């Protein structure tokens, strides 16, 4: 492989990586918070999260994240999260995972730093 082919290959790999990253966030970008109407994703502020980070409370969910956990969701996060997400704001997850989209720094109510929150739907038998 010559120098030009090497550069072309590197550019193609970067393009593929960017495409996959965009694909991973594409479904977030098509959703809006049902209460605030804000778009859920700006490109790097959403991610799936472990169930252990979420606790069900009466009429919603409690999300408590350390700064490290918040950074895993939004690499620009500047503070930890302690937010209650009322059931009216919870959207159905497209898979079996919880997902959250976070603001980098805004921790004021009523959103408390959470742009959007998705929970797996459980069938009632």
Residue 10: pLDDT band with limits 50, 70, 90: very low
Phi, psi of 97 (to 5 degrees): -110, 160
Q: What is the pLDDT of residues 26-59, one digit of tens each?
A: 789 899 999 888 899 877 899 999 999 999 999 9
pLDDT of 66 over the 90 cut: yes
Q: Is 55 in a helix, a strand, or coil?
A: strand
Domain boundaries of the chain, sorted by first residue:
3-119
pTM for the structure as a whole: 0.75
């Amino acid at each position: 492989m010559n120098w030009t082919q090497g550069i072309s290959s590197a550019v193609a790999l970067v393009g593929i990586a960017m495409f996959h990253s965009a694909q991973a966030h594409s479904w977030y970008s098509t959703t809006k918070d049902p209460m605030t109407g804000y778009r859920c994703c700006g490109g790097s502020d959403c991610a799936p999260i472990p169930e252990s980070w979420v606790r069900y409370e009466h009429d919603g969910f409690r999300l408590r994240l350390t700064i490290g956990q918040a950074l895993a969701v939004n690499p620009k996060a500047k503070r930890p999260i302690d937010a209650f997400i009322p059931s009216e704001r919870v959207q159905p997850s497209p898979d079996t995972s919880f997902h959250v989209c976070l603001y980098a720094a805004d921790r004021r109510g009523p959103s408390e730093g959470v742009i959007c929150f998705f929970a797996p739907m459980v069938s009632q038998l």
